[in-house]
Structure formats: structure tokens, C-alpha cells
A and B are shown apart, each in its own frame.
Chain A
Amino acid sequence: MSIDQNTAAKVAKLARIKVEEDALPALASEFNTILGFIEQLNEVDVEGVEPMVSVTPMRLKRRDDVVTDGDQQDKVLSNAPDAREGFFAVPKVVE
């Protein structure tokens, strides 16, 4: 499978990473190198093999339904680039 510039641009968009137009050819070519490497996996017979779910299987831990956290607005907001009136502020979102 070969990735063209268009696909590279789409992937960048999906990953929300701005990639300048002139950087797309190099990016596409890097993708192709990596994907070419990955494609070795096609040599493996995986018929009937289950995809790995957890490498060290164990029973999923559970919590009780008790409020043990929260009530720390100051700490939640302390690292925010822009916090106002108890909220995180971001550029206007248009729905």
C-alpha cells in the first residue's frame, strides 16, 4: 500500500497536526518506508490466531461506588493555558 500526499494530509488532519503543504512529500515518503517495513507482517500465517487482548491476563479490578476524588477545582485548573471563572477557555467552538 502506498501513501500519497493526499492521504498524508488526511492523516495529519485526523491527528490534528498541522503539516505545511511543502512538508507533505517527505512525510508521505516516511510513511511509505515505515509501512513497507510493517508490511512484513503479511508473511505471517495468523489464521485462527486471536488478537492479543492483555499480555498478562488478570481479572479487571473494580472500585466501590464511593466518592473519593474531586473537589479540587484549583488543582484541576492550575496548569491551564487559559482558565476563566472556573472553566477552561478555548477558542469558540462552532457546532
Chain B
Amino acid sequence: MLDLTYETPKIKTIAGAKHDWELVIGMEVHAQVSSNAKLFSGASTRFGAEPNSNVAFVDAAMPGMLPVINEYCVEQAVRTGLGLKAEINLVSAFDRKNYFYPDLPQGYQISQLYHPIVGEGEVLVELGDGTARKVRIERIHMEQDAGKSIHDMDPNMSFVDLNRTGVCLMEIVSRPDIRGPEEAAAYIAKLRQIMRYLGTCDGNMQNGNLRADVNVSICLPGAYEKYMETQDFSHLGTRCEIKNMNSMRFIQQAIEVEARRQIAIVEGGGEVEQETRLYDPDKGETRSMRSKEEAHDYRYFPDPDLMPLEIEQAWVDDIAKALPELPDEKKARFISDFGLSDYDASVLTADVESAGYFEAVAEGRDGKLAANWVINELFGRLKKEDHDITESPVSPAQLGGIIELITKGDISGKIAKDLFEIVYTEGGEPSEIVEKRGMKQVTDTGAIETAVDEVIAANPAQVEKAKANPKLAGWFVGQVMKATGGKANPKAVNQIVAAKLGL
């Protein structure tokens, strides 16, 4: 089990004109379930299709059309819940959230307000400096995504594409436990990592498959602790929600900007108004979305087209059993089983493919050496060509072969780097390459002795100098290495040179 202990990170403060202020952040992360078909229709979820081509009549809310749930989506929500160590609710239900918008064809979004499928959980968010924050998850519910309105194709009209309408989202709602912009980014990164491990969401923020609404408020030092003690929100400042963010960088900027805006209001004697805001990255400011907010009353009520969703404990247990090892556990295991540093283990468990690659290399070999080679040589080389681990031309077996040659003493570290480059660019079985190209280290002491004898015989003056100054023995080692084309085992050469020179 998890055996990582962390310090709690220091809380970021922002200096106002009068006080230092702390930030309190809660997030609603919308993660698109990686499914083939939509939550309530058989239309495809494929990104980038012709407008309105991935649309079933249900998605277009044609009269008389009815929703039927995609069981795979339910399973992914449960998996995600289990991955966040959350309570799974065996009975959940769908509600309608009613509002008018052109990309919401039904005039309501099917969501889960009153009875979400997943209850309380938690996420350990590491900040990379050995500190980590535990962020509580309040709930996860399933809901339909809306379509897309395009406002810039015509001066007077907006254009509506329903391809995205009805795609299954998981809304992951955190408690206000995040205390700064960096923590916010780290929190999303961690959720993304976990969901990618689980395979429930691809985490592609650029395509909008992972986006967040960020609730930001400010408070004076000490207030947050009072909230945590009592769970009474009145200790905290009024929050504003920054909607629909799909970039880690913008999320951090927006939080900072929004916090400063609120500080200025409060220090100026004003009051922060609870509202929804949009971040404008060009102007570097948040602005109110009053038009959308106006007279909002969602009139949630249970969707009469859908019975409550009842799932069986045995089904949940089966899903739990089939759960992959998750990042925290994997990292702990890498540290304990392979003797890796916290940092190396973090790097190697960042995504499941890297971790899998590393394990295949390290299996039955020197774990630390394997980690060094994967992180420094392989990742470095891949990065240079903008490739990811799945595109590596060097297989774990090949890299493992190189490492074995090093461990056995067949090749030196320097030769190994040359060998790696050959395998990377040309391919081939490392031991065969070494054999064929004569890259093997000479460990035969007889051959080395002969070479040493030749060098000594040819350089009597140097021998005298070296006897007086033993440091000069290195010169003989260099000459021997040169004579053997770098293949002599340096350790053996050192010993023999010293012995022959009588040092």
C-alpha cells in the first residue's frame, strides 16, 4: 500500500496593499469519457468530424426521441471513482438541468444533481518539491456535453454543431482544498494522470476533453483553518467561478489575476459578488458573464425518461479487481523494489507507458541503472525528436540488452552510448552489434599485459618519470586504451599498469 509521506506545501500568499492574502480554490473538472458512442445515443464521439455528422435524432432532440444509457460510460465513471478512492453509490439518478441555449437541443442537460454515481474521495497532489497536498473530492457525476456554437463565421449569425452534444462527461468536483495556482495545475495534472492510467479519459485538453471550472476566493491567513475545523464556508471569502478553462497555463494565470482582482475589491472596501466569469488570455483579465448568468434558475428535477441507475456491488467489485496499479502505488513500488529516488520514480510513473517501459527494462536487471538509461539517454533522445515513449525505436528488450552488456562488463559506459545510438538509428540486437563491430571490452589479462608491455618497452623515459611520480601512470593507461581501440577493460588496464610499473 501507499507508503509515501509528504510535507504539506507552503501556502502561496499574495501581498495586497494592506494584507497578505491566501487563496482558496475548488475545481469542477469535466473529463470526457473515452467511449466510442455517446452517453445516451449511438452516435460516434469522434473528434473533428464534419459538422452535425455525429448526431443521432436523440442528440438533435427531435420530437419523441428518448435516451438509453451507454453502460461503458457508467463503468468508466465507477472506475474513475475507484481510482480516486471514492465511495461508489449503488443507486444514482439522472436529473434534468433546464436552460435555453442553441447548442443545448433538449433545452436541458441530463446530469446527476441529487444522486451522483460517485461520492467522496481524495487525491494526493504532489508538487515536485517533496511536498504534496491531499485534495478531497466531493463527488463525481455523469452528464451530457453540450454542442458547439461558432460565433465568428458570420457577422449576424451563430452556427451550431451538435457533434459533441451528448458525449459523456464526468464532472469531478473537489472541495476547496487547493491553495494556489501551482497546486491547481498539479491537481489537474494528477487527475489527468490517474484517468490516463485508468483509460477512462484521454486527458486531451487541447480538444477540450479535459476542462475545468475554477472557483476562486481569497481569505486572510487563519481563516481557512477555521473553515477546515468547522466546514463552515462563512469563514471563506465569496467565490467566483471562472468557466471552461482548457489550458494549465491559463488556469494558473486566471487564478492569479482573479485573486488580485478580488483583493483589490476587498481592500478598496467593496464586496466580491458571486458570479461566473470568463478568462481572457489576450487581455490577461477575467470578465463577468452576466448575459449567461441572468435569471438563471435551472429547475432541476429527476429525468422521467430514465429510471434510477442501480448497479450491483459485485459488478463494482469486479471493476475494482481489474483496476490497474495507480500512479501512487506504482511510484511507491518503484522506490521500494528498484531503489529509485523519489524524483526518478515520479518521472518514470508520469504515464503508464513510461512506467511499463521502464519495468520491462528493469525486470531482472539493475533497476537504478535501468532508470538512468531510460530517463537520461532514452527520454533525452526521444525529446530531441519530439517523440513520446510509444514511438521509441528502441524496444525495452534492446535497451535491456545494452544494460546487460554494461553490467557484465562487456562494454564500457562510453561504448554503451555509442551502441545506444546505433540501436536507436539503425536497430539491431545489441550483443550482435557489439560482436560484429568488435566493440567488446578486452578483459583477457594476457592480451592487456602484452599491450602494456609494448607501451612500457617503447617509452623507457616515461617509465622513469612515472616511477618518480605515480600520477603519471594515467598516461600509460591512456596509451594502452588507444592501442586497444578503447575496448580494453579500464579497470584491468589500471591494475596491470600499476603492477608492471611497480607502483
Contacts and interface: CB of A to CB of B under 8 A. Distances in A.
A88 B61 CA distance: 13
B100 A16 contact: yes
Contact of A70 (B42, B155, B302, B307): B42
Contact of B307 (A54, A65, A72, A86): A54
- Give the interface size class of chain B: 35 or more
A57 B100 contact: no
Contact of A63 (B44, B68, B151, B153): B68
Nearest to B289: A95
B43 A88 contact: no
A92 B153 CA distance: 10
Interface in B54-111: 54-60, 68-74, 93, 100-102
Interface string A42-86: 000000000001100111111111111111110111000010111
Contacts of B161: 86-87
A73 B50 contact: yes
Contacts of B68: 61-63
Contacts of B102: 88, 90, 93
A82 B159 CA distance: 10
Given A57-B307, A67-B42, A88 B160 contact: yes
B307 to A, nearest CB: 4
Contacts of A95: 151, 278, 289, 291-292
Contact of B160 (A63, A70, A87): A87
Given A14-B295, A76-B162, A66 B157 contact: no
A91 B72 contact: no
B72 A92 contact: no
A75 B74 CA distance: 30
Interface string B150-172: 11011111111110000000000
A57 B295 CA distance: 36
A60 B158 contact: no
Contacts of B51: 73, 85-87
Interface string B17-56: 0000000000000000001110001111000001111111
Nearest to A90: B102
Contacts of B159: 84-85, 87-90
Contact of B158 (A59, A61, A90): A90
A72 B43 CA distance: 10
A58 B153 CA distance: 47
Contacts of B295: 10, 13-14
Given A16-B100, A67-B42, A85-B159, A62 B70 contact: yes
Contact of B56 (A59, A62, A70, A82): A70
Contacts of B35: 65
Nearest to B58: A69
B297 interface: yes
Interface string A27-53: 000000000000000000000000001
Contact of B41 (A61, A69, A82): A69
A1 interface: no
A63 B71 contact: yes
Nearest to A65: B72
B308 interface: yes
A92 B71 contact: no
A63 to B, nearest CB: 5
Contacts of A86: 50-53, 161
Contacts of B37: 63, 65-69
Contacts of A58: 307
A75 B310 CA distance: 35
Contacts of A75: 57
Nearest to A91: B157
Contacts of A54: 304, 307-308
A38 to B, nearest CB: 16
A91 B151 CA distance: 10
Contacts of B54: 70-71
A82 B157 CA distance: 10
A92 B162 contact: no
A60 B150 contact: no
B74 A62 contact: yes
Nearest to B304: A54
22 contacts: A14-B297, A14-B299, A53-B307, A54-B304, A58-B307, A60-B309, A63-B71, A65-B35, A66-B37, A69-B43, A69-B56, A70-B43, A73-B50, A73-B53, A75-B57, A86-B51, A87-B160, A88-B162, A90-B160, A91-B156, A95-B278, A95-B289
The 6 closest A-B pairs by CB, nearest first: A65-B72, A70-B43, A68-B42, A69-B42, A87-B159, A62-B71
Given A14-B297, A73-B50, 19 more contacts: A16-B100, A54-B308, A59-B307, A60-B307, A63-B70, A68-B37, A70-B43, A70-B56, A71-B53, A73-B53, A77-B52, A85-B159, A88-B52, A88-B160, A89-B159, A91-B158, A92-B156, A93-B149, A94-B291
Interface of A: 10, 13-14, 16, 53-54, 57-73, 75-77, 82, 84-95
